[in-house]
């Protein structure tokens, strides 16, 4: 069992989700920490702490980190994060020094996309795009069964495509970015505005948050939407509409066979996906004369990022052990994950 286990860490804008993951993508232990968004050193401390917690009970061989930011092509440094205080942060080496384990760092959406390709909604699909809707929008591309990261390592940052000229300001420094119109922050922004305005739904959301405006969030809107609240459903549908518009833009460039939609907002299911498919169909370039990609929900839910990061790290560590039998794997080594057995293309 020891040979099969790796730690997966998914670092988002609000929380650090961690787990011990086996080679079949099963999470056998879990932990969670709040993300210290303004202190990169504290993030490393949290990762080291949760890894030590796991190692007290399990023998793990590697750590995979899915980071909410731009990760360089060497998979060692977080170049930039719109929502965290990472600026050219050498995350891989910092964690390796603290844990003395092989460490692999990748973008959190890349990790989630890999997990869905290996174990989830995209199995047997050679070419796919995953879009994660959380605090912002992340993206991952898998081409012919391999993650595509681009020349500089930061492909798939679809959330910062500009979809509205002179639109809403974004944390990245630009305006009109897609994630300002099709992410969890949209639902949160609307919910807090409704609470401040004192609308019936806004008062309800504020009361559920104990009167604390900072606790009014997009997840509460989703719960009401699923329960049938018409205002909440309209807000989710609007996010779905913008999602479909953005997917059509991505399809024009990448032309995948499948879009997998993950992240917390995807828990709204068909309330989100149905309007997204409709907007995609009416916006897609060449519509009516070309095949259309399918749009489906992710299967692995909030675990996708940590499962994918752990699997990448485990495969890479195993490949290095096989390439260097009897030798010691350098904790600082980073590389693309070893390729798993090839799946045949669908006919």
Q: Specify the DSSP element, H or E, that contains 59.
A: none
232 and 185, same structural domain? yes
312 and 232, same structural domain? no
270 and 144, same structural domain? yes
55 and 144, same structural domain? no
Residue 231 maps to a domain: yes
pLDDT tens column, 248-297: 999 999 999 999 999 889 999 999 999 999 999 999 999 989 999 999 99
Q: What is the mean pLDDT of residues 78-99?
A: 92
Residue 283 maps to a domain: yes
Reference 161, options 294, 66, 252; nearest CA is 252
Confidence category of residue 209, pLDDT binned at 50, 70, 90: very high
Residue 345 maps to a domain: no
Task: Give the three-class secondary structure for 316.
Answer: helix
309 and 237, same structural domain? no
* Full domain range(s) for residue 51: 2-113+302-323
Residue 131 maps to a domain: yes
Those residues with Cβ within 8 angstroms of residue 273's Cβ, 6 or more apart along the chain or in another chain? 240, 261, 266, 295, 296, 297
274 and 150, same structural domain? yes
167 and 272, same structural domain? yes
Confidence category of residue 326, pLDDT binned at 50, 70, 90: low
pLDDT tens column, 232-246: 999 999 999 999 999
Residue 273 maps to a domain: yes
Query: In the numeric block, which tokens belong to residue 323?
Result: 């390439």
Cα 32 from Cα 19, distance rounded (Å) = 9
Residue 337 maps to a domain: no
Confidence category of residue 329, pLDDT binned at 50, 70, 90: very low
Of how many residues is the chain composed?
Answer: 347
Reference 226, options 271, 277, 274; nearest CA is 271
Residue 128 dihedral angles phi and psi, to the nearest 5°: -150, 160
CATH of the domain at 12: 3.30.420.40
Residue 340 maps to a domain: no
């Amino acid at each position: 069992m020891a040979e099969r286990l790796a730690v997966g860490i998914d670092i988002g804008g609000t929380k650090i989700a961690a787990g011990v993951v086996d080679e079949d993508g099963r999470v056998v232990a879990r932990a969670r920490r709040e993300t210290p968004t303004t202190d990169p050193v504290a993030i490393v401390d949290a990762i080291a702490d949760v890894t030590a917690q796991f190692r007290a009970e399990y023998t793990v061989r590697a750590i995979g980190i899915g980071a909410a930011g731009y990760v360089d092509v060497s998979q060692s440094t977080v170049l930039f994060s719109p929502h965290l205080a990472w600026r050219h942060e050498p995350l891989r080496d910092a964690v390796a020094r603290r844990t003395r384990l092989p460490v692999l760092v990748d973008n959190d959406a890349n990790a989630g996309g890999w997990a869905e390709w290996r174990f989830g909604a995209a199995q047997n699909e050679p070419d796919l795009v995953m879009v994660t809707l959380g605090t912002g929008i992340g993206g991952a591309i898998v081409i012919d069964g391999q993650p595509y990261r681009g020349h500089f390592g930061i492909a798939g940052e679809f959330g910062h495509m500009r979809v509205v000229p002179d639109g809403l300001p974004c944390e990245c420094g630009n305006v009109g970015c897609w994630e300002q119109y099709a992410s969890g922050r949209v639902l949160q922004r609307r919910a807090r505005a409704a609470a401040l305005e004192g609308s019936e739904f806004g008062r309800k959301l504020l009361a559920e948050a104990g009167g604390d405006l900072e606790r009014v969030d997009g997840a509460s809107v989703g719960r009401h939407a699923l329960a049938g609240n018409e205002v909440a459903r309209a807000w989710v549908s609007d996010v779905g509409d913008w999602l479909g518009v953005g997917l059509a833009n991505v399809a024009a460039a990448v032309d995948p066979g499948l879009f997998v939609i993950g992240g917390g907002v995807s828990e709204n299911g068909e309330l989100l996906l149905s309007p997204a498919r409709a907007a995609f169909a009416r916006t897609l370039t060449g519509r009516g004369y070309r095949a259309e990609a399918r749009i489906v929900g992710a299967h692995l839910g909030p675990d996708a990022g940590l499962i994918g990061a752990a699997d990448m790290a485990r495969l890479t560590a195993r490949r290095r052990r096989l390439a260097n039998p009897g030798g010691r794997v350098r904790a600082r080594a980073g590389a693309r994950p070893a390729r798993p057995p090839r799946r045949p293309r669908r006919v």
